Structures are given as C-alpha cells and as structure tokens.
A and B are shown apart, each in its own frame.
Chain A
C-alpha cells in the first residue's frame, strides 16, 4: 500500500466575496512509494505546504482525493501513523523538550511502556539531551528545529512530513539531520520533504517532484531529472588535432584543454557508438564517457522559467 496517493487534488482558498480566490493546488496527482525520501520542490507560493496540510487535514481539499496508506485523509486514525514538522512551528513556550514530547506522544495515542527511554533516545538522536528539562522559550532556532524533528518521530511514524527541516541549522547539524533521515529510510520509513534547499534535496531524495503555481511540472528520480539526455562528457588520453577535429568530429566541443575533456551532443546511442568507433579507428584512446548531468538547481530554474512562460 503506497503511503501517499493523491488524485486530481485541487485546493482553492476562497476570499469572502470570491474576488480574490487563490488556487493553491490544481488537479494535482502524485504517488509516493514506501521506504523512500520524496522531495517536493517549488518556489514560494507553489503550493508545497498546502499539499502537506491537505494530507494532514489541517486544510480541506476543494476537489479530488487523497489517501494515506490506502485510507481517506478524513479518517483521523490514519494520522497515528504520521509525524509532522511544520515550517515555522511554534511549540508551547512553557513546556520543556521532555514535556512537549510526552504531550505529543499522548495526543498521538502512542503507548509505550518505555516512553521515557524513547524520549531520551530521541533527544540524544537530535543532540538535545542536555536541554531535556529546559523550557522551550530558552531554545535557539536550531534547537527548536531539532526538537521539532524529535516530536515528529515520537510516535514511531511510518510516514514523516518535514517542511523545511534544516531551516536555521548549521552545516554540521544539517549533515546530522541528513544522516537521521537516511537511517529512517533504511528502516523502512517514508519521508516527505518540502525544502527550498535544492542541494539538500538532491543529496538525500530518491524521488523529487517539482510544483509551480499548484501544478505538477515534473517528477522522477534525481538521476533522471538531472541527466541531460544525448549530451556526454568524453575524456580522451590526448587532445585531438584541430584538423582532425574539424574534419571528423565536428560534434565534439572542447570543454577543458588541459584535461582533454570534450562534450558531445549525440542524437541517439548508435550515433554515440559510431563516434567511439571513429575515435578508435583514428587510434585515439578514450579514458571515459559519462552522460552529462546538470545540477538540480539548474534544472529547477529552467523548468520553473519554462512553466512561467507557458502560463
């Protein structure tokens, strides 16, 4: 059973007289497989947070359907299997980390004889052990974020929604959080990640979806989305002679003279193989041929620009 299945979901925020209705999600469909880290990307106002809020019944959908673990999102019991770290969360300032985790466990209807042990374990996981009994009002932004992650995990959820989880956290802390998320994934949990930090998403996500103005632009694995089809990076043992390059290999572009790196745009695989044959016939040694990749950020910007032009 897929943890998340969204079908033709639409959410319109209606204003009092209908003059300023905002469509946050438009016929949005998505499936998130179990045991993956799924990254949802999009510019501000794309509808990322709205999607998570709809899935957790904080916001109601206008049309369409959404299911968590095969059950309707309107069934509150399904939320026992979820954990959530909202963006800009605000915990009761008068509670301590321990108090908050106990409250969240209770309200999640989570029963564990060893709850105190579980709390200690989670606080240790997010490096907050020594702040266990300190009031939340004394916490820094980074500490709040770590505690936020701990409360999202207190009920041992199968599906974890994280909205900007590394916001306000230093690079070492980010690395720690990435490791935590990878471990959770390895233990079979599904993680749904909303983030502006594309490099973070690129590093840990198995699959990503890009959302713009409430519409799904594309989705796939990070590798699929970042590999530029038909463009290859070719490293040769030595530089090609100019005359040979112009005469036989006009589709090769020099990228780095010192390292003998070329790029080639090939129409298909047979063309690539034909070029390899031609290089070998000319007794040129090939060091490597790698399909060229763009960064997730470049791909994201180009897709958003394209989508904006269409609209």
Chain B
C-alpha cells in the first residue's frame, strides 16, 4: 500500500511538472471566466422575460417557474460540451504517463526497486485518476457555483457530472494504460480513446437500441461490440437523465463499463508483470 501511495504521489507530481495539471486548470478557468462574463453582462431579467415570452406562445401549457426553466435549459446546453470537454482534457492529460514510465533507463530504475509491478501500475492509475478528479471537480464545481450565484438555484444533481465524467474517464484510462504498455505510444492511446468516446460509443449505442437491424448476425455483432466497450455515450445519457431529474432506466452501462475497466486494467497488470524491460 505504501508503495502505491508513493507512486500515486509521484504521478501527481509528474502531472504538475509536465504542466498537465496547469493546462487543464487554465482551460477550465477560461471556461469559467467566459461563463461568468456572460452572466455578468446579461441581466437576470433578460433570461426570465425571454422565457416567459416563450412560455406564453407555447402550445403546451407549462406550469414551471420561468427561472427554474432557464436553469434547466442552461444545464442541458452545458452538460454535453462539459462532459465532452472534461473527457477530452482528461484523456489528453494522462496519455503520456505510461509511455514516460516505460522509457528505457527510467523503467529500469523503478523495476530494480523492491516494488511489485502491479503496484507501479496501480500507483500510475490512481495518480492519473486523482489529477482528473480534481480538475473535473474544479470545472464542474465552478459552473455549478456560477449558476447558483446567478440564479440562486442550487441543484446538487449537477455535481453528479463530476462522478460520471470521472467514471467514464476511469474506464478509458484503463485502455490508455493497456495501449501504453503494448505500444509505448501516447498518440495511439489518445487517438483510440477519442475514437471510442466521440464516434464508436455513440454509434454502437444507437445501433444497439435501433430496431432496423433485423439480420441476426449483425444484431449479434452489434450487441457484442456494445457490451464489451466502455459506454461513454450511455454514461452521458445517464448524466442527462440525472440533470433532468428523470429516473435512470438501467444501470447496465455502469456495470458493463466497470467490468471493462477491471478486465482491461487486470490485463494491463498481467502483461506488464510478464514483460522484459
């Protein structure tokens, strides 16, 4: 355990030193500054009167408080970019950790010490996870604070984004580690994760729930691909539901993504433990 803590701390130190932390922080800070400028320059009345007008002309009768409605729409507008930005920055931040660790001359020193190889990877994993958790907390917490201060609406459900982004990242990070060990290329790890969360996961998720695939073979193929991949798209869907105050239909994406994480991270440890350096 002590070795894991030492290596976790060292990974966080690396994140600070390599400006990973500060880059994430700056992007988050700029987002928060732009948000606060928008809120400062737009009087509250502009938001509510605009909403009241829309509600008057709506064919469906709306009984909700216009202010709550504004906050709800604002959150819905923010959640997707926030989730995407959070994941994008997180993947970018940690993708170089494993290739750096495996550099010749550096890995020799680590492995020659009385430390188990599994501890090395767990330390790297936890270090990266904590860095991302801190940064995502700063970004999401900052936006939650801005909305709360502007509209006096303190919806704690919004803070669930911290957990969902961190969890989605945790599943992808296990893949970053595996690809890093196999290829020692941070570019490849990064690309693969971006492809999964930008294209593969949304497409395969849509196909899984689509009814137009009737061919049994294709249906089975889509189902297999759906269940074995980290479901970043579905996790985003769950985040949206939480923000809307809707009940979550199924926790299956969480379970299967967690299984993906455990399997891939376990495989990474197995390969790392068997490899010569």
Contact = CB atoms under 8 A, between A and B. Distances in A.
B98 to A, nearest CB: 14
B103 A90 contact: yes
B195 interface: no
The residue in B13, B110, B112, B277 that gathers the most chain A C-beta atoms within 10 A of its C-beta is B112
B113 A58 contact: no
A56 interface: yes
Given A56-B112, A58-B112, A59-B277, A103 B6 contact: yes
Interface in A78-92: 78-80, 82, 84, 86-92
Contacts of B114: 76-80, 107-109
A76 B112 contact: no
Given A94-B14, A107-B3, A109-B2, A89 B115 contact: no
A160 to B, nearest CB: 11
A249 interface: no
B271 to A, nearest CB: 13
Given A76-B116, A108-B114, A92 B14 contact: yes
A259 to B, nearest CB: 50
A91 B113 contact: no
A129 B10 CA distance: 23
Contact of A104 (B7, B109, B276): B109
Interface in A203-240: none
A87 B111 CA distance: 14
Contacts of A53: 108, 276-277
A79 B113 contact: yes
Nearest to A90: B105
A139 interface: no
B276 A84 contact: no
A134 interface: no
A108 B276 contact: no
B239 to A, nearest CB: 35
B276 A94 contact: no
Interface string A114-147: 0000000000000000000000000000000000
B56 interface: no
Interface string B1-32: 01100110010011001100000000000000
A89 B103 CA distance: 9
28 contacts: A13-B276, A53-B108, A53-B276, A56-B112, A59-B276, A59-B277, A76-B114, A76-B116, A79-B112, A79-B113, A79-B114, A80-B114, A84-B109, A84-B112, A86-B112, A87-B105, A89-B105, A89-B108, A91-B109, A92-B17, A94-B17, A94-B18, A95-B17, A104-B109, A108-B113, A109-B2, A151-B109, A161-B112
Interface of B: 2-3, 6-7, 10, 13-14, 17-18, 103-116, 274, 276-277
